[in-house]
Amino acid sequence: MRRLLLMLMLALPALVTAQDIAKKADSLLTTYTSNKQFSGNALIAKNGKIVFEKAYGFADKEQGRLNNLQTEFRAGSLTKMFTAVAVLQLAEQGKLSLHDKVGKYIHNVAGGDSITLKNLLSHTSGIRGNIQNTNGNLAQMVSSFKSDGRAFAPGERFEYNNFNFILLGYIAQKVSGKPYAQLLTERIFKPAGMQHTGIDYKGRKAANVALGYMIDDKTQDLARMETGNINAASGAGALYTTVGDLLKFSTAIDAHKILSAKSFELAFTPVKPGYGLGFTLRENNGHPKTGHTGSIEGFMAEFMKFRKDDITVIFLSNLLPPVDHHLDKALASIAFNEPFEIETGKKGIEVSVDALQKYTGTYELEGAKMVISVKEGKLMALAPGGDEVELVPEATDKFFVKGPQIGVIFKEENGKVTAMFLDMRGGQTFKRVQ
Q: What percent of the chain stands above pLDDT 70? A: 90
Domains in the chain with CATH codes:
17-345 (3.40.710.10), 353-432 (2.40.128.50)
Segment 257-279, tens digit of pLDDT = 999 999 999 999 999 999 999 99
Provide the pLDDT for residue 9: 47
pTM surpassing 0.75?
Answer: yes
Provide the pLDDT for residue 367: 67
Provide the pLDDT for residue 8: 46
Provide the pLDDT for residue 41: 99
Consecutive 10-residue averages of pLDDT for the chain (434 residues): 52 63 95 92 97 98 96 97 99 98 92 95 87 71 75 91 93 96 98 96 85 86 82 87 99 97 97 96 93 93 97 96 74 93 75 91 81 91 75 86 73 86 70 84
Round the average pLDDT of the chain to a whole number and report it: 88
- Which residues is 369 bridged to in the sheet? 364
CA 108 centroid distance within chain:
27
